[in-house]
Amino acid sequence: MPWAVGQPKMAALEEEFTLSTGVLGAGPDGFLGVEQSDKADQFLVTDSGRTVVLYKVSDQKPLGSWSVKQGQTITCPAVCNFQTGEYIVVHDHKVLRIWNNEDVNLDKVFKATLSAEVHRIHSVQKTEPLVLFRRGAVRGLEALLAEPQQTIEAVIPDEEVIKWSEFFMVFKQPVLIFITEKHGDYFAYVQLCKSHSLSKYTLLLGKEEKCVKPNFTARVDGKFISLVSLSSDGCIYETLIPIYSSDTEKNHRLIRALMLKAVVSDAARNGTALTILDQDHVAVLGPPLPASKECLSVWNIKFQTLQTSKELPQGTSGQLWYHGEILFMLHGKCLTVIPYKCEVSSLAGALGKLKHTQESDTHSMPHFVDWETCSGYDLGSYSAEQSRTLRRKKSETNLQAEVPGSKQLLSIIKNDSEKHIEVELRKFLAKSTPDFHTVIGDVVAGLLGRCKAEPSFYPRNCLTQLIQTHVLSYSLCPGLMEIALEHTDVQMLQLCLQQFPDIPESTTCACLKLFLSIGDDCLQDININMESVFDYSDTIQDEKKEIKEQTEIVQNGFSPEDNSCSKDDQQLSKKPGDAAKETISFPVTSCPVAPKRAALLNAVLHSAYSEAFLLPHLKDIPAKHITLFLQYLYFLYLKCSGNATMTLPGISPPTLSQIMDWICLLLDANFTVVLMIPEAKRLLLNLYKFVKSQISVYSELNKIEVSFRELQKLNQDKSGRGLYSIEVLELF
């Protein structure tokens, strides 16, 4: 997802374990493939000979094993058809076999002989499997099975050989990419399966690599496929291939960009592989130094750092598969499984700005920060006693609570209708539960899991209820906001922004983008919490008056004429009266955005952020929206400075410092862009004048500080009745 770029993460490889490979004949080239099955924990392993094994990884044991007859060889790794739950394999290039868990003998299962040789079958969730033929043609499985003997056209020239292929779902559209090689030249083909459009690109590689086979891996990055290759010089390169090509006819040439330098020493040797783990991390298999043993290492692309590595002394087959947070490889003769974890750790909480908490009066805050209790230090007998009783209470409730409660709910979430879930959830929330936090976390995870699996499933009310329990945070349910963004559910996003303390800057920025770009007509029927927005309609009548007062306030203590303004400034500022008029004619006299949008933007203003992480994302916002947002902020600023306390009316309005910080951030991020926009010119000039006036006021204050102090002294002398006096005192 484009908005999920750049949240700080800690990647780690967990303890490895091996799967028994007794039945598998691992040849010198390793396995044909490891593919996911429709159950989360189960994987299909196809060896280079005749066998397919279904493993349950958590149990470290095979669940089933199927072999083709002697004399036949499997030529394409078995995959699972996620729509039906059946398994598909191709042997002897042309024979397709489809079976399921109950089948014992592959000989007796469904068989279809095709008219052309199959290169691979690709299968991902939510769509039917695709069959890629040797000559580059692509067919959907169902269409193929309907007429197995249909003629398969040749798409790629004769001498080109498919080296690698991958299948993605991009905005619900299946996209297939494959790389071919001809005399050391590499070509990339992108096939959009729905529109049947095919684009061909020439990959420009370094000269020295023509002789060796590079390793490829890819992921979707917005409208591009990011093709990542490990070349023989040991470096990782990235090539961006557009998914939607404007004209399919031409042969485009693609230049690669260096991503990471020298991650493996000698890529010419066998035994190197790489795979993308997520947007920031790649896993590389290969020896890091010429003499060293092979290693599995995880690199952070963004920071160019090695995150973790694991030595594999017994050598590998140079193959690496990554499915569902598990890395598979052949280590020696064993199929080794290494779970990979990359947990999001938002730095916003640690070093970013804290969320502006207005509700501090509702929660009774302790008068001092008690670090000792934070660190679990036992304080005196009193608190020990207290915690003991607490523990006792906890264990009592544990005994009383019906254990199935949460489990039942979780199973309901998996299968039942939205309505039913909502009812059950309400019941569940009504009663107090021990371990409330963890259960809520599980429930959300369950709901989100189902949302991902079933695009139509979006239990808005349930999620809203859960967020309102105040126990959720972004890190507890990282997928929630993404899903809300996908559904452009601004109401939910507003709620999240208000409730979550730890939203990564990228997500905040994605919300901002959405809030700025969403059409007013969409906003109209959405029910949005408006408490942070004061009623603009009331104030609009007084607008002119206020603005006039306002300009006076800004100019208090200095006069633009007195300042030796630069020439163009003088031209633009003209007379003070004119300036005031111009300010009025400037669009910010009335709120530049509709109240509902203002409420949404206020939620963003309130959220916590760290400048360093937010700035890069702000650069992605279109200029039009930047101007709008700046206008809105400037409008808020004018409103703020309109009264003596420098606050806005309303229940939790943005504070002046939040407004100023955001103005600075936006200008920092988009200064060159804003400079170019004619509409923003007036705004910039106003801001410039404001800053200038502030600087001069402060410098004047500094100058007269000494005078202030002298005055204070004089005042003291007056009040102090000298060194000696006789007074009358009557005691009562």
Partner 1 sequence: MGEFKVHRVRFFNYVPSGIRCVAYNNQSNRLAVSRTDGTVEIYNLSANYFQEKFFPGHESRATEALCWAEGQRLFSAGLNGEILEYDLQALNIKYALDAFGGPIWSMTASPSGSQLVVGCEDGSVKLFEVTPEKIQFSRNFDRQKSRILSLSWHPAGTHIAAGSIDYISVFDVKSGSIIRKMVLDRQHLGVTKSRCIVWGVAFLSDGTVISVDSVGKVQLWDSATGTLVKSHLIANADVQSIAVADQEDSFVVGTAEGTVFHFQLVSVTSNSSEKQWVRTKPFQHHTHDVRTVAHSPTALISGGTDTHLVIRPLMEKVEVKNYDAALRKITFPHRRLISCSKRRQLLLFQFAHHLELWRLGSTLATGKNGDTLPLSKNADHLLHLKTKGPENIICSCVSQCGSWIAYSTASRFFLYRLKYEHDNISLQRVSKMPAFLRSALHILFSEDSTKLFVASNQGSLHIIHLLEGSFKHLHTFQPPSGTVEAMCLLAVSPDGNWLAASGTSAGVHVYDLNHLKLHCTVPAYNFPVTALAIAPNTNNLVIAHSDQQVFEFSIPDKQYTEWSRNVQKQGFHQLWLQRDTPITHISFHPKRPMHILLHDAYMFCIIDKSLPLPNDKTVLYNPLPPKNESDVFLRRTAHAFKISKIYKPLLFMDLLDERTLVAVERPLDDIIAQLPPPIKKKKFGT
Q: Which residues bind partner 1 (CB under 8 A)?
A: 367-376, 379-380, 382, 695, 698-699, 701-702, 705, 716, 720-732
Nearest to partner 1 of 379, 714 (CB atom): 379
Which C-beta is closer to partner 1: that of 154 or that of 384?
384
Report the residue number, 247 or 727, with the smaller CB distance to partner 1: 727
Q: Which is nearer to partner 1, 246 or 707 (CB)?
A: 707
Closest CB to partner 1 among 28 and 722? Answer: 722
The widest CA-to-CA distance across the chain, in whole angstroms, is 123
Find the helix packing angle between 478-486 and 505-517, rounded to 10°: 20
State the nearest-atom distance from the C-beta of 373 to partner 1, in Å. Answer: 7
Residue 724 CB, nearest approach to partner 1 (Å): 5
CB contact set of 343 (below 8 Å; sequence gap of 6+): 9, 10, 12
| Residue 384: exposure state from Cβ atoms within 10 A (0-12, 13-18, ≥19) | exposed
Sequence-separated (6 or more) residues with CB below 8 Å from residue 79: 35, 44, 87, 88, 89, 121, 122, 123, 129
Residue 500 CB, shortest distance to partner 1, in Å, is 19
- Min CB(481)–partner 1 separation in Å: 24
The nearest distance, CB 702 to partner 1, in angstroms, is 5
| Distance, CA of 89 to chain centre | 35
What's the closest the beta carbon of residue 717 comes to partner 1, in angstroms?
10
Smallest CA-to-CA distance from 632 within 682, 678, 590 is with: 590
CB of 705 to partner 1, least distance (A): 6
Q: Which is nearer to partner 1, 432 or 716 (CB)?
A: 716
Q: Are 486 and 595 in contact (CB under 8 A)?
A: no
**Residue closer to partner 1 (CB basis): 357 or 712:** 712
Q: Is the separation of the CB atoms in 79 and 43 below 8 Å?
A: no
Task: Closer to partner 1 by CB, 255 or 379: give it.
Answer: 379
From the CB of 731, what's the least distance to partner 1, in Å? 4
Residue number, 171 or 724, with CB nearest to partner 1: 724
- Closest approach of Cβ 290 to partner 1, in Å? 32
State the minimum distance, in angstroms, from the CB of residue 486 to partner 1. 32
Closest to partner 1 by CB, 688 vs 708, is 708
Burial of 353 per CB tally in 10 Å (0-12, 13-18, 19+): middle
Q: Both tokens of residue 454? A: 């079933």
Q: Which residues contact 84 (CB under 8 A, 6 or more apart)?
A: none
Residue type, 104: V
Q: How far is the CB of 37 from partner 1 (least distance, A)?
A: 37
List residues bridging with 339 in a β-sheet. Answer: 326
Instruction: Provide the minimum distance between the beta carbon of 341 and partner 1 in the complex, in angstroms, as a whole number.
Output: 16
Closest Cα partner for 299 from 379, 391, 228, 373? Answer: 228
Give the integer Cα–Cα distance in Å for 108 and 66: 11
Q: Which is nearer to partner 1, 399 or 726 (CB)?
A: 726
| C-beta separation of 560 from 689 below 8 A | yes
Cα 138 from Cα 134, distance rounded (Å): 9
Contacts of 626 (CB under 8 A, 6+ apart): 666, 670, 673, 674, 680
Whether the CB-CB separation of 232 and 208 falls below 8 Å is answered with yes
State how far the Cα of 100 lies from the Cα of 545, in Å rounded to an integer: 78
Is residue 283 a contact partner of residue 308, using CB atoms and an 8 Å limit? no
Calpha distance 607→505 (Å, rounded): 9
CB 457 within 8 A of CB 451: yes
Cα separation, 136 vs 621, in Å, equals 39
Minimum CB separation from partner 1 for residue 718, in Å? 13
Q: Compare residues 147 and 372 and give the one whose CB is closer to partner 1.
A: 372
Our measurement of the distance from residue 603's CA atom to the centroid of its chain's CA atoms, rounded to an integer in Å, reads 19
Nearest residue (CB) to partner 1, 570 versus 699:
699
